[in-house]
Amino acid sequence: MTTFGAGTSAPAEDLLRELAPQVLGALIRRYGRFDECEDAVQEALLAAVAQWPAQGVPAHPRSWLITVATRRLVDQWRADSARRNREATAALMTPSHLTTAPAADSDEVTADDDTLTLLLLCCHPELPEASRIALTLRAVGGLSTAEIARAFLVSEPTMAQRISRAKHQLKAAGARFEDPPPVESARDDVLHVLYLIFNEGYTATSGPSLHRVELSAEAIRLTRVIYRLLPDDGEVGGLLALMLLTDARRPARCGPDGRLISLEEQDRSLWDTNAIREGISLINRSLTAAKLGPYQLQAAIAAVHAEAAQASDTDWRQILALYLVLERFTPTPIVRLNRAVATAMVHGPQAGLDLLTSVESDSRTATYHRLAAVRAHMLELAGDFEAAERNYLLAARRTPSLPERRYLELRAARSGVNRQ
């Protein structure tokens, strides 16, 4: 999406972000040509940013954007026709079609369907994971190429090439807007991409900031779109609940100086109670009405944390039980690492350290900074402050995130003081 100027109000900006994928979907459904339609939508958004602050938001903003974008498309096709001698293409688009704005949003019934179809298209199984994320953020999330590039710490030309390559890969794979992957087969890919986008926004993998709020907020918004379309899908509801319950803690995760604050040390009065209330309601409804899945289990774990008024009230036995079930669904080293933390809280630090052996032997996490951080925390609980200090420093060296590095170095310093 285009960058909004100072004169654009927050409600108008939110409306444009919501409408952008709907308008793009409507144009692609009518005309095909992903690249050209996206360029036309961007120009329509620029026109809205320039005109709406002074003239007011039109009665039917989606139709307004579709009409303006269609004009841009036809103008471009006419220019191409003149250059390439394609009079037939230009003749199909009459002046009356361009100048008559619809009296009402005649495509409103398909707006959500178009957004879902666009999501499915961007998460096509032929695309690599990085391309799915970038294309989803660009076409469906409405983020500019520059915003996506900043989020993933690459140059804007590099990200532009990645997005362009993804579009070419879609074309080469024969993917069409009219024939996207079935929701049932592509749903898991869509949810996974949204999950990854949220995680990158909530805890940036690298760089000076802990949060990239535009990413986590966009992931929540898009997941709401999917939930509105698939309200009886337990995993969609579970993912939305997980995002809300996790993001509710964000206001308490950093101090005024940007310092990371651990979960047990957070001021829980700063947590977003509205998000917690909605998240708990969602997961309760999902757990009782739908088949169990990994996102629901993760949301249930987040709900247990959210319901504890203070860290000492946390029901770690319930969390451990949930991780045992989650590990049967997703037997990954990350889940085992989290189960080890819960085990240490229930059965003592040595029991947790014993479980870390299998995580340490897995090549996927052997050099993962959080493995060293968890080991350090357990060693600290066990009273081995020298080993804890050593492992905190190891974790600090391994993380590319500056806030996490500073936090781990601080914990190392505390362990160093305790061992003296």
Claim to verify: residue 71 and residue 164 sit in the same structural domain: no
The alpha carbon torsion through 313, 410, 200, 367 (nearest 10 deg) reads: -100
More confident residue, 259 or 394: 394
Confidence at 406, pLDDT banded by 50, 70, 90: very high
Residues 228 and 17: their CA atoms lie apart, in Å, by 17
Residues 291 and 294: their CA atoms lie apart, in Å, by 10
Residue 113: predicted pLDDT: 61
Residue 417: predicted pLDDT: 83
Of 75, 103, 131, which marks where a domain is finished?
A: 103
Alpha-helical regions (H) of 248-332: 273-289, 294-307, 316-329
User: Does residue 44 form part of some domain?
Assistant: yes
Residue 369 pLDDT greater than 70, yes or no: yes
220 conformational bin, left if phi > 0, alpha if psi -120 to 50, beta if neither: alpha
Residues 352 and 354: their CA atoms lie apart, in Å, by 5
Residue 105 pLDDT greater than 70, yes or no: no
Residue 343 pLDDT greater than 50, yes or no: yes
What's the number of CA atoms in the CB half-sphere (13 Å) around residue 73?
Answer: 28
Residue 8: predicted pLDDT: 54
Confidence at 411, pLDDT banded by 50, 70, 90: very high
Alpha-helical regions (H) of 56-182: 61-84, 87-91, 95-99, 111-122, 129-135, 145-151, 156-172
Of 85, 103, 121, which marks where a domain is finished?
A: 103
User: Does residue 226 form part of some domain?
Assistant: yes
For 64-95, the pLDDT digits (tens) are 988 888 888 877 766 655 555 444 444 444 44
Claim to verify: residue 215 and residue 290 sit in the same structural domain: no
For 202-220, the pLDDT digits (tens) are 888 777 888 888 889 888 9
8 conformational bin, left if phi > 0, alpha if psi -120 to 50, beta if neither: beta
Q: Transcribe 343-384 into DSSP letters.
A: HHHHH-HHHHHHHHHHHHT-TTTTT-HHHHHHHHHHHHHTT-
Claim to verify: residue 121 and residue 222 sit in the same structural domain: yes
Claim to verify: residue 18 and residue 58 sit in the same structural domain: yes
User: Does residue 309 form part of some domain?
Assistant: yes
Residues 420 and 412: their CA atoms lie apart, in Å, by 13
List, in order, residues 6 or more apart from 215 with CB less than 8 Å away: 137, 151, 197, 198, 200, 201
Residue 108 pLDDT greater than 60, yes or no: no
Claim to verify: residue 80 and residue 143 sit in the same structural domain: no
Of 69, 103, 137, which marks where a domain is finished?
A: 103
User: Does residue 338 form part of some domain?
Assistant: no
CB neighbourhood size of 231 (10 A): 11
User: Does residue 169 form part of some domain?
Assistant: yes
Of 302, 361, 318, nearest to 336 (Cα)?
361
Claim to verify: residue 120 and residue 216 sit in the same structural domain: yes
Claim to verify: residue 208 and residue 245 sit in the same structural domain: no
User: Does residue 365 form part of some domain?
Assistant: no
Of 257, 119, 246, nearest to 177 (Cα)?
119
Claim to verify: residue 211 and residue 293 sit in the same structural domain: no
More confident residue, 291 or 309: 309
Structural domain count of the chain? 3
348 conformational bin, left if phi > 0, alpha if psi -120 to 50, beta if neither: left
Of 274, 326, 275, nearest to 300 (Cα)?
326
Nearest-5° angle of CA 17, CA 155, CA 215? 35
Claim to verify: residue 52 and residue 151 sit in the same structural domain: no
Residue 350: predicted pLDDT: 96
- 291's enclosing H/E stretch is none
Question: Which structural domain, as residue segments, surrounds residue 283?
Answer: 231-256+263-314
Tell me the residue length of the chain.
420
Nearest-5° angle of CA 55, CA 57, CA 58? 95
CB neighbourhood size of 196 (10 A): 17
For 144-202, the pLDDT digits (tens) are 788 788 667 678 898 888 888 888 888 787 776 666 666 666 778 889 888 988 988 88
Mean pLDDT of the chain: 83
Q: Helix, strand, coil proportions of the chain in percent (round to 5)?
A: 75, 0, 25
Rounded mean pLDDT of 334-351? Answer: 96
Claim to verify: residue 46 and residue 143 sit in the same structural domain: no
Nearest-5° angle of CA 249, CA 252, CA 257? 140
For 322-337, the pLDDT digits (tens) are 999 999 999 989 999 9
User: Does residue 42 form part of some domain?
Assistant: yes
Residue type at position 95: P
Residue 95: predicted pLDDT: 41
Q: Tell me what percent of the residues of the chain surpass a pLDDT of 70.
A: 85
Residue 234: predicted pLDDT: 93
Claim to verify: residue 214 and residue 310 sit in the same structural domain: no
Lowest mean pLDDT among 59-63, 115-119, 190-194, 376-380: 115-119
Residues 362 and 368: their CA atoms lie apart, in Å, by 10
For 219-242, the pLDDT digits (tens) are 898 899 889 888 889 999 999 999
Of 118, 110, 93, nearest to 34 (Cα)?
118
User: Does residue 370 form part of some domain?
Assistant: no
pTM greater than 0.95: no
Residue 14 pLDDT greater than 80, yes or no: no
Residue 103: predicted pLDDT: 37
Claim to verify: residue 14 and residue 57 sit in the same structural domain: yes
Residue 77: predicted pLDDT: 67
Contact 283, 237 (CB under 8 A): yes
